[in-house]
Amino acid sequence: MLKIKYFLWLMIPLLWSCSNQSEDEEYVNVPLEFKVPSNFPDLAYNIALNPPTQKGFELGKKLFYDGRLASDGVVSCGFCHIQANAFTHHGHTVSHGVDNAQGTRNTPPIQNLAYQSIFMYDGATDHLDLQPIIPLTSIIEMNGNFTAILKMMKADKEYQKLFGQAFDDGAITTENMLKALSQFMVMIVSSNSKFDKYRRNEAGGTFTSDELAGYNLFKSNCASCHATDLQTDNSFRNNGLAVNPMVNDVGRYKVTELASDYYKFKVPSLRNVEVSAPYMHDGRFGTLEGVLDHYESGIVASATLDLLLNKNGKLGIALSETDKKQIIAFLKTLTDNQYLTDKRFSEY
């Protein structure tokens, strides 16, 4: 497997003091190895500008699971992003924020973010370091205030220590906070599913006849959008969902205000899709069967409907019940149990 290693040279040992530690105790901020799997495309995130380190990762993880970043002191990033479900809010059609405020969109997974160049269902931000600002400050998510967050961290001895160890300037700033979150998130990689082993000709990668048939069907009918081994082309498309009049989520149009972007949403990765129900940007489908039924017979025509779903005047994708079962068999090969259970990413 091709390995790309990014190192931050070992920092000159710094001295730090704490009530329970010696003032002379030294430490080094150990660089973390970042590997690009041989079946993955090039990185989109410039990792050389924010190379992951042990202390940066540790700080980012603490921030990710700290409910004190929210106005109610409870709703952390990890509240909606649950590892066992590919860091989604399993069982919830849309996310729930502070004071049980209900959002309008389903919680997306966190995986392979260093390979993405645009984020959120509507592409509201194009940089991973900036993405957390949206949920942190949204009144229906964490409803956080950076002034209050910085005040809290500056009064916390553990945060004082971690910021001091993670960054050269040791400063507790919004910039360093966001960089630490990115260091944690870029290390959350899913690359060891049965599908990956099949693609890399590794042990454990032999497909059953149904999985192989499903893969061939997938390549013919789905891979134009769910492209590369990341299972997404990171584009925005209208996939023929009926508009919910109670919400009227206009998707990408909210950002661009281009009529051509009405009801277009970012194509999600299908990695670990077996464990990340419900599906679509609003969580309207509870099963993979429901998703395939939609593509087979539920497409709603509109001015911005993706052309792939309206070929020669015929809406949808022709799929038999056998086809659907085989595609689902393939989709289950995208489940990466190592990623789902990796203790490095767990709160406890």
* Residue 206, both tokens: 């032999």
**Per-residue confidence at 55, pLDDT binned at 50, 70, 90?**
very high
Residue 26 is predicted with a pLDDT of 64
**Per-residue confidence at 27, pLDDT binned at 50, 70, 90?**
confident
* DSSP secondary structure, 210-235, as one string: HHHHHHHHHHHHTTTTS-TTTT----
Q: Where is pLDDT greater, at 14 or 108?
A: 108
Residues 6+ apart with CB under 8 A from 128: 45, 113, 114, 116, 119, 182, 185, 186
**Per-residue confidence at 57, pLDDT binned at 50, 70, 90?**
very high
**Per-residue confidence at 9, pLDDT binned at 50, 70, 90?**
very low
Q: Are residues 237 and 327 in the same domain?
A: yes
Whether 82 shows a pLDDT value over 60: the answer reads yes
- Domain of residue 233, residue span: 194-334
Q: Report the number of distinct structural domains present in the chain.
A: 2
Q: Does the global pTM surpass 0.85?
A: yes
Q: Are residues 241 and 110 in the same domain?
A: no
Helix (H) or strand (E) holding 154: helix 146-154
- State the Cα–Cα distance between residues 346 and 124, nearest whole angstrom: 28
Domain final position from 154, 189, 224: 189
Which CATH number fits the domain that encloses residue 162?
1.10.760.10
Query: Quick check: 18 and 161 in contact, CB under 8 A?
Result: yes
Q: Are residues 154 and 203 in the same domain?
A: no
Give per-residue pLDDT as tens, 113-162. 999 999 999 999 999 999 999 999 999 999 999 999 999 999 999 999 99
Residues in the chain: 348
Q: Are residues 127 and 200 in the same domain?
A: no
Whether 318 shows a pLDDT value over 90: the answer reads yes
Residue 2 is predicted with a pLDDT of 38
Give per-residue pLDDT as tens, 273-302. 999 999 999 999 999 999 999 999 999 999
Look at the block and give the residue holding tokens 């990956």.
196
Asked whether residue 25 is assigned to any structural domain, the reply reads no
What is the phi/psi pair of residue 96, to 5°? Answer: -120, 130
Whether 326 shows a pLDDT value over 50: the answer reads yes
- State the Cα–Cα distance between residues 333 and 154, nearest whole angstrom: 45
